[in-house]
């Protein structure tokens, strides 16, 4: 019996050692009966957290398109040219050369002040009236200045169209209205008179005599824009058309008038 007691004693010692090392479940009791290990209480399954929809990327509000800005464009129509010499101006030469030189001088002065201008001709070309009006109408001109010269009279003669106002009110936006070619200027009579008034005021301030008139003149009547025909005459007996200072004075006065017209034109409906 002694060896049985010794065997049990050794078994208890090994079991105690294994329990200390954590290699077996607790089994031994003094009587040798094994106690069952209690299974771990399972944790309740946690439902997955709902995934919040990611916020859509911020989209900038649409920027409304800007209405196209109307450009201020001046059309310079040097009368005559090519086979049409115009009037003979004495020592000032031929009218076609005089008006071309004045248009080029005026173009340079306007450009230096940030005003865009377009020629109907800037060389000795022959142009008919329809071609001249077409340049102004295609450009949607803000002002058209028809340049002429005469050896008679004094100062500057200003002419607007004598066409009567149309019987039917013109469309609010004349640039998109259908206008009869031969009488397009009739719808711009009021604006042309305002442009003429600006030119008259500046010339008068420069002590240049001004004569105002209305006439039926092509290509003036076919121009769908504010338009004035300007005829340059000698200042007086001592200052002929060919006087360089007089020519410069006229060009600078017309430039000042067109700059004033630009401000007036932008404020119009």
Hey, what are 61's tokens?
């509000």
Instruction: Categorize the per-residue pLDDT at 31 as very low, low, confident or very high, splitting at 50, 70 and 90.
Output: very low
Taking 3-state DSSP, the helix, strand and coil percentages for the chain, each rounded to the nearest 5, stand at 40, 15, 45
The answer to whether the pTM exceeds 0.75 is no
Q: How far apart are CA 76 and CA 223, in angstroms?
A: 12
Position 36 pLDDT exceeds 90: no
- Give the C-alpha distances (Å, rounded to integers) separating 5 from 1, 2, 8, 9, 10: 7, 5, 5, 6, 9
Give CA angle at 204 (261, 223), nearest 5°. Answer: 40
Least confident of 58-67, 174-183, 244-253: 58-67
Instruction: Categorize the per-residue pLDDT at 55 as very low, low, confident or very high, splitting at 50, 70 and 90.
Output: low
User: Which of 99, 268, 259 is CA-nearest to residue 174?
Assistant: 268
Q: How far apart are CA 264 and CA 269, in angstroms?
A: 10
Strands 116-119 and 73-78: parallel
Position 5 pLDDT exceeds 60: no
User: Which of 159, 118, 161 is CA-nearest to residue 142?
Assistant: 118
User: Which of 177, 183, 100, 103 is CA-nearest to residue 140?
Assistant: 177
Q: In what order do the strands lie in the sheet with 156-161?
A: 116-119, 73-78, 143-149, 227-232, 156-161, 210-215
Whether CATH 3.40.630.40 fits 73-165+177-267: yes
In this prediction, residues 156-163 reach a mean pLDDT of 98
Higher model confidence: residue 225 or residue 7? 225
pLDDT of residue 123: 95
Instruction: Categorize the per-residue pLDDT at 38 as very low, low, confident or very high, splitting at 50, 70 and 90.
Output: very low
Instruction: Categorize the per-residue pLDDT at 71 as very low, low, confident or very high, splitting at 50, 70 and 90.
Output: confident
What is the DSSP secondary-structure string of 141-185?
A: -SEEEEEEE-SSSSSEEEEEE-PPPPSSPPPSSGGGS---GGGGG
């Amino acid at each position: 019996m002694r060896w049985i007691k010794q065997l049990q004693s050794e078994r208890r010692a090994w079991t105690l050692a294994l329990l200390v090392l954590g290699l077996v479940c607790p089994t031994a009791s003094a009587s040798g009966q094994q106690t069952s290990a209690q299974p771990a209480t399972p944790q309740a399954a946690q439902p997955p957290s709902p995934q919040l929809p990611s916020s859509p990327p911020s989209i900038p509000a649409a920027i409304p398109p800007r209405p196209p800005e109307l450009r201020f464009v001046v059309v310079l129509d040097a009368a005559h040219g090519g086979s049409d010499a115009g009037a003979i101006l004495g020592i000032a030469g031929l009218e076609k050369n005089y008006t071309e030189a004045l248009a080029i001088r005026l173009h340079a002065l306007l450009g230096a002040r940030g005003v865009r201008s377009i020629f109907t001709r800037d060389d000795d070309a022959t142009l008919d009236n329809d071609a001249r009006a077409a340049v102004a109408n295609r450009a949607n001109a803000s002002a058209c200045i028809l340049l002429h010269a005469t050896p008679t009279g004094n100062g500057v003669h200003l002419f607007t169209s004598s066409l009567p106002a149309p019987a039917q009110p013109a469309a609010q936006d004349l640039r998109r209205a259908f206008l009869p070619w031969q009488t397009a200027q009739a719808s711009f009579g009021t604006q042309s008179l305002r442009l003429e008034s600006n030119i008259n005021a500046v010339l008068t301030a420069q002590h240049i005599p001004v004569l105002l008139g209305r006439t039926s003149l092509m290509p003036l009547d076919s121009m769908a824009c504010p338009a004035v025909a300007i005829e340059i005459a000698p200042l007086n007996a001592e200052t002929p058309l060919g006087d360089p200072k007089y020519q410069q004075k006229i060009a600078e006065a017309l430039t000042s008038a067109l700059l004033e017209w630009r401000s007036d034109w932008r404020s119009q409906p």
